[in-house]
Chains A and B, each alone.
Chain A
């Protein structure tokens, strides 16, 4: 996926942060939930159609010292997975 792509959250989807280390993305139209970890929550909050994947990865690296080397790939895979479930789209340039 293009690292300049700008993911945008499906406005119907609910982010529910249940505990410190556990959250769920809930699609009220399908009733399906998708568990996300704190890194996923960090990304989700930046899926606003203004941040590129590259920028989100850079912010993630800045925010957590022990971000793994493959963070960029993880962010890409995460957004691809959410896009496949209809939970995000991409801002058209």
Chain B
């Protein structure tokens, strides 16, 4: 596949700090968890390089990005360098004043806020006492000020039985156009709390069935790029392909699931460039010392991750003989790394064969 001259988007961890300690946090307890934040001037210098590279947008993440005391200066730097921006936030620090400031830039694409329950007890189970009320207050501030609020529900053992209530709260009571879902994944702190948080095969089956049911009730309003809903859609497609022996489409049968390395990159809070916020251990260089364009076009690790998509799944002993091998794409390299120690493996986390062997059930199709 041809590679663009520069990345289109970057995810920037503008701070390593956070006011919460969610038990499934992907940031803390990973290589993304560094010991310092960059000074304002370093980010502003880098934004000028992003303009020169014609980067279109940045996602500001952390930790909790709204903890940056110089946030307005950073946002002004992004706007001056002709980019759009969005945030990944826990929502608890968003005030009307902040939301109005972001709206008035005319460049904010939205703020993703994590809401994991329909009530404090459910949400706070993994995010800490008091966080639900504050996140909801932040969500309402975004809505009052006309900023797109992109809610993300992370599904885990403590909220898997509450999905219908959560959907009702978000889509009916708060009238959000849609919300996104994923699942507590084996990254960062979640690795220490996996048994208490991650869905087992039966809970995953329930989550898939429930989310597909909710998708029929609220058509097009529940989104997923990972987690049970994305897996339900992907696995049902693989099962249909297996039953009809459908011809494989582009990328199927290879480690081709991750397209991120063709469009975007990430920067850790200490200024180290990485291929993705979920692959923080792969250090590609440092901002304002190494050229972004050069790293993007020539770094051997990025090239290796791009070449990954030509590796056939039949090369892996576990996949050989799997009845889905022709239609599988091998799943997320970050989870392949945390679960197997090597990103050049299929990820066991979203392996359909393993899910079925563990007693999982594919949802019914209606």
Contact = CB atoms under 8 A, between A and B. Distances in A.
B5 A28 contact: no
B2 A28 contact: no
User: Chain B contact residues: over half helix, strand or loop, or mixed?
Assistant: loop
A81 B84 CA distance: 24
Interface string B1-34: 0101110100000000000000000000000000
A28 B107 contact: yes
A92 B294 CA distance: 40
Contacts of B5: 17-19
B150 to A, nearest CB: 14
Given A28-B83, A29-B107, A31-B84, A16 B56 contact: yes
A17 B54 contact: yes
Given A28-B82, A28-B83, A28-B84, A16 B54 contact: yes
User: Chain A contact residues: over half helix, strand or loop, or mixed?
Assistant: strand
A28 B4 contact: no
Interface string B46-77: 00000100101000000000000000000000
B95 interface: no
A14 B52 CA distance: 10
A33 B5 CA distance: 17
Interface string A10-29: 00111111110000001011
B106 interface: yes
A19 B2 contact: yes
A13 B84 CA distance: 12
Contacts of B56: 14, 16, 26, 28, 33
Contacts of A28: 56, 82-84, 107
Interface of B: 2, 4-6, 8, 51, 54, 56, 82-84, 106-107, 109
Interface of A: 12-19, 26, 28-29, 31, 33
18 contacts: A12-B82, A14-B54, A15-B54, A16-B6, A16-B8, A17-B5, A17-B54, A18-B5, A19-B4, A26-B56, A28-B82, A28-B84, A28-B107, A29-B106, A29-B107, A31-B84, A31-B109, A33-B56
